A and B are shown apart, each in its own frame.
Chain A
């Protein structure tokens, strides 16, 4: 089983649509959680951290369910510029390990 699993998509949605991505992780002791976005042939860029209480940043809402080991990202009123690959990222639990573990990404294309 992969440490971080995502639906690879692709998701093709019209402008203005609402789209949701899901992610599960295997290490129940994981400490921190993030969504990054990666544009084609570019570096990953931090989109938002994910907190147990849920958090919102404009059109983006992230949720974490520790009991189910499940993370989600909701994008409302999607824009053409939202087209990218969305990466679910988990930070380890303890010790000297500080590497991020990436899901393989969910590809989103927003269509005009």
Chain B
């Protein structure tokens, strides 16, 4: 049973480009969460999704950031027109519907030049 899969592991973008981060949850998990960890800081919640629905996006920046979890395929976190302050580790987690425990992927480290 594969764990939470994230790709790419490392992503380099220039200012103004778009970044797309992918996350495939563990088998049997229908809930996906995205967290961001800025350098030397703790993890901060961004968004919680179920298939085809955004349940809670209270942690998402109001502009440039969007997330989806389509019926087929991985969850995508999209950052448009990246800026240097977007450089961070982005972690995806998943959980089954009935448990509070979340399991994390290895993360995507975004570097904005």
| A interface, CB within 8 angstroms of B | 31-32, 34, 41-46, 49, 87, 91, 96-105
Which residues on B are within 8 Å of A, measured CB to CB?
31, 33, 35, 41-45, 48, 55-56, 58-59, 89, 91, 93, 95, 100-107, 109
Task: Verify A96–B55 contact, CB threshold 8 A.
Answer: yes
Contact A98 B43 (CB under 8 A): no
Bound form: Cα–Cα A46–B102 in Å: 8
Give chain B nearest CB distance to A103 CB in angstroms: 6
Q: Could you say which of A34, A87, A103 contacts B101, with CB atoms under 8 Å apart?
A: A34
Contact B56–A102 (Cβ < 8 Å): no
- Interface SS of A by simple majority: loop
Q: Are B42 and A99 in contact (CB under 8 A)?
A: no
Distance of A96 Cα from B58 Cα, bound (Å)? 11
Cross-interface CB contact of A46 among B41, B59, B101, cutoff 8 Å:
B101
Given contacts A96-B56, A99-B59, is CB(A49)–CB(B101) below 8 Å? yes
User: With contacts A87-B42, A105-B42 known, is A99 near B33, CB below 8 A?
Assistant: yes
Minimum Cβ distance to chain B for residue A84 (Å): 14
Distance in Å: Cβ of B110 to nearest Cβ of chain A: 13
Contacts of B58 in A (CB 8 A): 99
With A34-B101, A96-B55 already in contact, the answer to whether A101 and B45 are too (CB < 8 A) is: yes
In the complex, which residues of chain B have a beta carbon less than 8 angstroms from the beta carbon of A46?
A: 101, 103
B100-A32 in contact (CB<8A): yes
A-B contacts, 12 of them at CB < 8 A, read: A34-B101, A41-B89, A44-B91, A45-B104, A97-B48, A98-B33, A98-B95, A99-B33, A99-B59, A100-B45, A101-B45, A102-B35
User: How far apart are A21's CB and chain B's nearest CB, in angstroms?
Assistant: 14
Instruction: Return chain A residues, CB-CB under 8 Å to B101.
Output: 34, 46, 49
Interfacial chain B residues near A97, Cβ < 8 Å: 48, 56
Q: Are A44 and B100 in contact (CB-based, < 8 A)?
A: no
Q: How far is the CB of B11 from chain A (nearest CB, A)?
A: 15
